[in-house]
Chains A and B, each alone.
Chain A
């Protein structure tokens, strides 16, 4: 299915990451946005609130982030493509109903424009310290999909991609951007609508009375049941069976949670998106995501000029973590380096997967500003020893 030309601002624009993200959502067919103001994400909500009335859609500023997350699940259940945006403190509040979205298996997109934390932290300055919260922030066992754009252009493109993944896998998808990308203004090229491929929501082909809400196809993903069409289905945040009915037993729980895990784990090759450069033959591979993957470039170029065999991996998807690829590389390289604007979060996964086969180095940062290239360069020099 192609995007609706009435919703796509085809052309070259000068946009910041937040505005580009909003345009991505509109192009993807988002028609419901429930949000609550929070720096540095607010421009997404502001642009959506200006644009929706002209293209079709409802922006509603909810009373808090608990309500925003609940509302986008409700509207998605009603058939809309939905989104919300927030930052650290709001992300914490949204974790409650993010878990409901995981359990109900409701497609929607949640954007976290990361700032410094903990607590109110640094409202106007960047961080990447919510990455583990993105992975584990709601209670219980589950898998997540999280994308990390490094530019306004990617903010546009990955927002569309996030909607497509959420529809394909019937689950909430996270966009983990940050204040730098959100407020950085660059050229954004929006293609014609017929070049934007959208994934249509998969509804059941069965008739009312024959269909259940959790009846997976061969790919492990259950087609949704539409509301208002006589299916009279029930869905619950409680552990449930294929009918959506609560079943409070260990056996039902295993069936339910395993399915939530499997639908991501069985499709990691489809979901994981890495951009690799000069990895073959490298002695050191530097990994990063979001803004840090741009910040690492000068350091890597300098090291290469000096003859150091350094490869790089930009993680477009951070979750699910590219476990298989990191294990392969760990057997080949001297060192793996993780550059991230926190004190070691995704690094822990890299280190776990390296499993002692190579050395691992963290180039962490407290946040508030991006890394200095020298810090990364020094780490590469250390890593190649």
Chain B
């Protein structure tokens, strides 16, 4: 099939949400980040959100670069601290959609404490975690998500540490929405991100993505595309699955779907209700500081 000249457009379909002056991006070909960023951009469009009212916060790593490519108010913070930075930002501007977009090492290793506590508080934000099972930016070191026996540059004889099961971690910490898809489930991933953004409270989407340059090579898994396809073809969709049963083993079946979708008052709702209950008229309800700038 060929594309005729009149079907071509000058404009990238996501141009309105991407900083085109920063393209080409730094990511390797066939890395799962491209489809994931597309899924976020499409979800924002599908929801018809006002672009002015969305903030993206990232930490450090390959995925940490996402904030820099989104044409939104965007913050590239320190390693592991995207979530607590976003907590402050959200409290200051609760009317905005706060989206943390970062990687597995950033969010659940160095940032693990912030992840569980922000889920516990049910702070109204969306966390998108691109899990490629490895520290990619720094050269393929073992991560808290690396499956048992998988090789990395610091587990050259195979990983012998038990990895995290991220949906279980998020759910047991208090998240109101938990889903997992692979980077090739683009339509379902887009829908999950849209649901997560719309969800009141701490919503979490894990995206299983190939690291073509490091994880695939170190484990002799073919190209990034081969790995992306493998994850997709070995995904078993099981909505409502028990999060205790969604661990990921090396190159085996991956259970995907929407695992948690519950209602719970958010941090700011609890703050306002709790203080009002005790202080009554003396309480000055917090609505953010939008009027201040």
Contact = CB atoms under 8 A, between A and B. Distances in A.
B71 interface: yes
Contacts of B289: 31, 78-80
Contact of A74 (B76, B92, B293): B92
Interface stretch (A62-70, A168-176, A189-197): A62-70
A373 interface: no
Contact of B84 (A66, A226, A245): A66
Contact of A79 (B80, B90, B113, B292): B292
Interface in B251-279: 271, 275, 279
B78 interface: yes
Given A32-B92, A79-B93, A234 B74 contact: yes
Contacts of B76: 234-238, 246
B202 to A, nearest CB: 14
Contacts of B51: 230, 232
A54 B286 CA distance: 10
Given A100-B78, A228-B53, A236-B76, A67 B114 contact: yes
Interface string B66-103: 01100111111110110111111111110110000000
Contacts of A72: 88
B113 A228 contact: no
Interface string B214-247: 0000000000000000000000000000000000
Contact of B93 (A53, A70, A78, A235): A78
Nearest to B51: A232
B19 interface: yes
A73 interface: yes
A278 B283 CA distance: 51
A11 B57 CA distance: 43
B52 A73 contact: no
Main secondary structure of the interface of B (DSSP, over half): helix
B81 A67 contact: yes
Nearest to A235: B75
Nearest to A236: B76
A116 interface: no
A148 B88 CA distance: 27
A245 B22 contact: yes
B89 A62 contact: no
B88 A228 contact: no
A54 B91 contact: no
A149 interface: no
B78 A237 contact: yes
A82 interface: yes
B95 to A, nearest CB: 7
B57 A74 contact: yes
B2 interface: no
A205 to B, nearest CB: 13
Interface in A101-129: none
B93 A227 contact: yes
Contacts of B86: 74
Nearest to B76: A236
Contact of B78 (A62, A78, A97, A231): A97
Nearest to B86: A74
A236 B84 contact: no
Contacts of A237: 76-78
Contact of B290 (A32, A68, A224, A228): A228
Given A74-B84, A229-B293, A58 B282 contact: no
A377 to B, nearest CB: 47
B100 to A, nearest CB: 11
A64 B19 CA distance: 34
A232 B88 contact: no
Given A228-B53, A234-B74, A78 B92 contact: yes
A154 B104 CA distance: 46
Contacts of A67: 81, 83-84, 87, 113-114, 117
Contacts of B67: 234, 236
A200 to B, nearest CB: 10
A57 B53 contact: no
Contacts of B90: 74, 78
B91 A58 contact: yes
A215 to B, nearest CB: 16
A226 B271 CA distance: 25
Given A70-B78, A96-B78, A227-B89, A53 B292 contact: no
B142 interface: no
B92 A53 contact: no
A89 to B, nearest CB: 16
A188 to B, nearest CB: 23
A79 B86 CA distance: 13
Contacts of B68: 234, 236, 245-246
A56 interface: yes
A303 B80 CA distance: 55
A245 B68 CA distance: 7
A70 B87 CA distance: 9
A57 B14 CA distance: 38
Which among B67, B88, B93, B275 has the greatest number of chain A C-beta atoms within 10 A? B88
B12 interface: no
Contact of B85 (A74, A226, A238): A74
A60 interface: yes
B286 A230 contact: no
A55 B285 CA distance: 9
Nearest to B69: A234
Given A70-B84, A79-B293, A228-B95, 7 more contacts: A62-B117, A67-B84, A67-B87, A77-B85, A80-B88, A234-B75, A237-B76
Give me the 4 closest cross-chain CB pairs, A-B, nearest first. Answer: A78-B92, A74-B88, A75-B88, A236-B76
Interface of A: 31-32, 34, 53-58, 60, 62-64, 66-68, 70-80, 82, 96-97, 99-100, 201, 203, 224, 226-238, 245-246
Interface of B: 19, 21-22, 51-53, 55, 57, 67-68, 71-78, 80-81, 83-93, 95-96, 113-114, 117, 271, 275, 279, 282-284, 286, 288-290, 292-293
13 contacts: A32-B88, A32-B91, A53-B282, A57-B286, A67-B114, A71-B88, A72-B88, A77-B88, A79-B289, A229-B52, A229-B293, A232-B73, A235-B75
